[in-house]
Amino acid sequence: MKIDYDAIVQASTRISAHINTTPVLTSSALDELTGAALFFKAEHLQKVGAFKARGAINAVLNLELSERVNGVATHSSGNHGAALARAAKIVGIPAYIVVPNNANEIKKAAILSYGGVVIECESTLEAREEMLAQVIDKHNAMPIPPYDHEDIIVGQGTAALELLRQVPSLTRFVIPVGGGGLLAGSSIAAMQTESIQVYGAEPAAADDAYRSFQSGIRVKSHTPDTIADGLRTTLGELNFEIIKDNVTDILLVTEEEITDAMKLLWTRLKQVVEPSAAVTLAAVIRYPELFNNERVGIVLTGGNIDPDNLPF
């Protein structure tokens, strides 16, 4: 399929009955702190507690019946796995989810709650892919990658499309980047509005997207060490090609900055978000020259955090 604005519009219609239209939140205190007008797209209030619900249900609904019959499979640090398990449950098929053995326990519990089958493996990307190949071979399930997939990219882009419809005249987007599905999809949605500059936000301790963007050559493996567990994945191939053409820059933030931003979102915006969502506010605070006096759309990507394992 073609990954373009029209495909995102079509996906928005396709998935509308199965997702929440999430609200946009504002905070005068955070506006004053950053010198910008911030509009937070509350995807942590989405089904399964993350934007991943969009891409997963879009991908499953787009499968032919013959492709669904033996179920679906993926590897995931948590949110995509839960989203795919939910999407599979909606259409009545099994979902096999390979997760790293250091995955967030709350996220694993969510996968199980939607009827997904959890298969654990070592925490490297290579181990995930090897185990997933075994699962697909055993069950003849249809693979639905967590980010490097046309239907996933298009589905994730519906969050930005929705935000643009809710808040006119945005001049900046700030989107977390791990595998890059949300950033790629958001950048395509933003292309219809020439005034918007799209920035990716990434932990400096998981900077493969930044290094890929700077060099023009995709980093294919790295060893992330960040509290933002949803951003530990390696940038996808399809996603990188879109990102390098459409995104203005990738902005790095430290672990301390992520934690501080997360505290602000909890205490000022009164929203329970995970570290992966907080990288966006951290980037706006760290790079004021890019955002001062701008109207900034920020996607709060997820809220699935273990309350017994907070970074503060």
Per DSSP, helices labelled H in the chain are 5-15, 28-34, 52-61, 65-68, 79-91, 105-113, 125-139, 150-166, 181-190, 208-215, 237-246, 255-267, 275-286, 288-291
Across the chain, mean pLDDT equals 94
Q: In what order do the strands lie in the sheet with 37-42?
A: 24-25, 37-42, 295-300, 172-176, 197-203, 249-253
**Which of these three, 121, 143, 165, is where a domain ends?**
143
**23 in the same domain as 66:** no
**168 in the same domain as 259:** yes
Q: What is the dihedral of CA 201, 231, 125, 66, to 10 degrees?
A: -100
**252 in the same domain as 160:** yes
Whether 167 is in a domain gets the answer yes
**Which of these three, 80, 108, 143, is where a domain ends?**
143
Whether 312 is in a domain gets the answer no
Give the C-alpha separation, 47 to 52, whole Å: 9
Whether 294 is in a domain gets the answer yes
pLDDT above 90 coverage of the chain, percent: 84
**155 in the same domain as 291:** yes
Instruction: Specify the pLDDT at position 233.
Output: 85
For residues 201-225, average pLDDT: 94
For residues 243-263, average pLDDT: 97
pTM higher than 0.75? yes
Whether 308 is in a domain gets the answer no
**205 in the same domain as 120:** no
Whether 305 is in a domain gets the answer no
pLDDT in tens, 124-139: 878 988 999 999 999 9
**253 in the same domain as 168:** yes
pLDDT at 222 over 90: no
pLDDT at 250 over 90: yes
**57 in the same domain as 42:** no
* Of 27, 76, 77, 187, catalytic: 77
**206 in the same domain as 274:** yes
Domain holding 98: CATH number?
3.40.50.1100
Instruction: Specify the pLDDT at position 272.
Output: 96
Whether 306 is in a domain gets the answer no
Instruction: Specify the pLDDT at position 195.
Output: 85
Helix axes of 52-61 and 79-91: crossing angle, nearest 10 degrees: 40
**76 in the same domain as 37:** no
**179 in the same domain as 238:** yes
pLDDT at 204 over 90: yes
Whether 260 is in a domain gets the answer yes
Does residue 41 carry a catalytic annotation? no
Instruction: Specify the pLDDT at position 232.
Output: 87
pLDDT in tens, 61-114: 999 999 999 999 999 877 899 999 999 999 999 999 999 888 878 878 999 999
* Of 52, 76, 107, 212, catalytic: 52
Instruction: Specify the pLDDT at position 182.
Output: 97
Can you give the residue range of the structural domain that contains 156?
5-51+149-300
pLDDT at 58 over 90: yes
What is the 8-class DSSP label of residue 94? -
Q: 73 or 123: whose pLDDT is higher?
A: 73
**116 in the same domain as 258:** no
**Which of these three, 143, 169, 190, is where a domain ends?**
143
Instruction: Specify the pLDDT at position 78.
Output: 77
pLDDT in tens, 159-194: 999 999 999 899 999 999 999 999 999 999 998 887
Whether 222 is in a domain gets the answer yes
pLDDT in tens, 270-310: 999 999 999 999 999 999 999 999 999 999 999 988 777 78
Does residue 77 carry a catalytic annotation? yes
**168 in the same domain as 31:** yes
Instruction: Specify the pLDDT at position 59.
Output: 98
Q: Work out how many domains the chain is built from and give that number.
A: 2
pLDDT above 70 coverage of the chain, percent: 100
